[in-house]
Structure 1
């Protein structure tokens, strides 16, 4: 079931033309966290760390979507059967 939800998430992300407010907030938070360490590293290392941070954030966003979808489905099912 998780794999099917992930496929839905991938389609949802591909269909979105512009970032929503949540996506912009996430992007800004990641940049803020990484920026705090920028002075301690050279440009190439900074870009590497920044890209990893965005990859981690994207994985968390996908996991959150899957978890939220499953919770919403359970809530829906509970409302119907009770």
Structure 2
């Protein structure tokens, strides 16, 4: 299973997934293997990691994205049901 480049949550909440080299990732956070950027709606993953580890990190970061989606849409009433 490959890593997707995009994930779409309900109400058109689109999330980009980018796999970065070590140097690109280190510029964002040298201690992280995955990052959720809630302003840009991008998940960054460290590309050199084994695919099983990247999938695990992607699932973790999607959890952060899901919480952000809930906060944004539950607060403005789009997902009350």
Same fold (TM over 0.5): no
TM-score with structure 1 setting the length: 0.37
Query: Which entry has the higher C-alpha Rg, 1 or 2?
Result: 1
Compare the two structures and name the one with the higher helix fraction.
Answer: 1
Compare the two structures and name the one with the higher strand fraction.
Answer: 2
